Structure 1
């Protein structure tokens, strides 16, 4: 299948993607950003007794990785295949997740691939992504052709999406702060309309995973056993369920309250950068960790409107799609 624009937000926590489906609607999906080495033993049954996991094997530099919604969230010694590093976008894990998204969407030819980067390393890795993922490639489960790669600051996707939902009510002279709470980093852009203020924009290590790790450490202290299941903590908080730890079902609510100092530290860094912002129209909160940060941000900025964007985890990918479509339309008009 050929598509004009395909948007992928390969986050540290989840890989999200968006494209135009038949009929013009926006199709989206996501799966955990886990890329463990592919299993060497297949115990599946062909009689219909056992269900088949939804995964695909992606080959990067002759190494096979397993990606998709069916990858296990827990693994022996915590080896889940997640990469938490500053140079994440240069890793084979990142490439495997990107190609996995393309595979699950059934796309074989992309005119414009739109990707995002954290604000603080946009300049460092933008050209790397453009060079690595442009052209014709074979990743072990099919060929794909990508004509052009566009890279934008991650929070800009949420700003574009928010503006599209407001229509005529979006004033290009209004100032907004968009905070994207990711899995490993928190990034923000300060913008007037769509013009980004580079001085007031920024990013810092400190996302949802830092909260999960703090909760895991607290559970370890209480239970006298190492708790290295931050993937399961992530899932339990998102699904609002208890965490199964050995024979106990643990309510994570009290632990989340004890982890608030981790959130407060990141919020203090944002405050230091942007000040009180008396002229800001609203603070737009996005990303998979948006719900975790909302209450602390409201206390930090009590006189501002804090808006949690609809479906915050997938918001950037949807915004990337709109950015790519607008850019492609401009190029076609110019031609």
Structure 2
């Protein structure tokens, strides 16, 4: 009987997970990293309208998570932008929501990720929290027999090697993987598939800082507090200006501020990364890649900045491949680790 391997990447902006594997094709899905708490199971409340969410019971509360969670949430949008995010009930609710949407009753190996700077201190606790039986609501549970936490950009490195058919040659190359997320700006220096810990790190300078800075600029322009972060995010991704007071607001006026934040993040990385001429691959991934590409290119003008398809899912796709390879090795050796 084959092992069931799945992966989930709970980010501060979006939760990405493996929805299915069909004929060897890894399929991904995501939902906003918002966990809306309630004292009662939402479907039992009067006037409840069915939506694409699940209610995960944790510590006496029901956390509603899923693609339609914004229909449930109030106007206050709490974000878990802190170093202990992976130990919060919101993180657990998001992870269990992803487990529910995978629609498998038991997982032999679940691969999850952490920012580079958090891996050493949070790895053991996260693996322990993700292993075992998980109540996903509605009287259903998912059993995770073993969990494995790896650095988030390490997943992207695996995904890059697979997409560019470099698994056979990358062992002789040095790579820099850059992963701008909602909260953190991560980078990982690797020799082959092994990462160099004393050159890899992360700083809290991500997309959320850009969105907040742009909101402040808009507020100053219109003379009233503006905090529609989702509208700014949508405008940046689509290139369409947000509508404010029934008029299109020229968001390009605030882009120099966003670029300045990207430059700050890249500058922090450059203090750790030396001898850039030795990199055969500089790989930019993550949902915020497009906002940091100009600053990264400015820092590495003599390199071609490499990308992958659907960069938001690069980490979780790589987690899945790494997990399947890990499970295959255990099967070959007859290890009981996944039994």
What range describes the TM-score normalised by the shorter chain of this pair?
Answer: over 0.9
SS at structure 2 position matched to 1:97: helix
Establish whether residue 102 from structure 1 lines up as the match of residue 90 from structure 2. Answer: no
TM-aligned CA distance change 1:75 to 1:334, over 3 Å: closer
Return the TM-score normalized by structure 2.
0.91
The residue that corresponds to 2:163 in the other structure is 165
The residue that corresponds to 1:113 in the other structure is 110
TM-aligned CA distance change 1:109 to 1:181, over 3 Å: same
Q: Is the 8 A contact 1:19 1:321 kept in 2?
A: no
Q: How far off its partner does 1:3 sit? A: 6.5
What is the aligned counterpart of 2:65 among 64, 67, 86? 67
| Aligned-residue CA RMSD (Å) | 2.0
Q: How far off its partner does 1:235 sit? A: 2.5
Return the TM-score normalized by structure 1.
0.92
Q: Is the 8 A contact 1:135 1:145 kept in 2?
A: yes
The residue that corresponds to 1:48 in the other structure is none
The residue that corresponds to 1:181 in the other structure is 180
For residues 1-335 of structure 1, the aligned pairs below 5 Å read: 4-18=4-18, 20-38=20-38, 41-44=45-48, 52-72=50-70, 79-141=76-138, 142-168=140-166, 170-335=169-334
SS at structure 2 position matched to 1:274: coil
Unmatched runs of 5 consecutive residues or more in structure 2: 335-339
Distance 1:140 1:74 in 2: 17
Residues paired across the two proteins, number: 327
Q: How far off its partner does 1:65 sit? A: 1.1
Distance 1:56 1:239 in 2: 29
Q: How far off its partner does 1:96 sit? A: 0.6
Distance 2:3 2:11 in 1: 22
Q: Is the 8 A contact 2:134 2:142 kept in 1?
A: yes
Q: Is the 8 A contact 1:35 1:80 kept in 2?
A: no
- Point out the more displaced range, 87-96 or 247-256: 247-256
Unmatched runs of 5 consecutive residues or more in structure 1: 46-51
- Point out the more displaced range, 89-98 or 237-246: 237-246
Q: Is the 8 A contact 1:159 1:319 kept in 2?
A: yes
TM-aligned CA distance change 1:15 to 1:111, over 3 Å: same
Distance 2:307 2:148 in 1: 26
Q: Is the 8 A contact 1:18 1:28 kept in 2?
A: yes
Q: How far off its partner does 1:256 sit? A: 2.0
Distance 2:17 2:160 in 1: 17
Q: Is the 8 A contact 1:82 1:93 kept in 2?
A: no
* 1:105-161 deviations in Å (ceiling 9; x for gaps): 212100000000001010111111111121122232310100000000000000001
- Point out the more displaced range, 274-283 or 314-323: 274-283
Q: Is the 8 A contact 1:37 1:66 kept in 2?
A: yes
Q: How far off its partner does 1:254 sit? A: 2.5
* 1:147-201 deviations in Å (ceiling 9; x for gaps): 0000000000000011112225633111110001110001111011112111111
Q: How far off its partner does 1:307 sit? A: 1.2
Distance 1:19 1:326 in 2: 19
Distance 2:3 2:181 in 1: 27
Q: How far off its partner does 1:217 sit? A: 0.6
SS at structure 1 position matched to 2:80: coil
SS at structure 2 position matched to 1:37: strand
Distance 1:89 1:154 in 2: 13
SS at structure 2 position matched to 1:85: coil
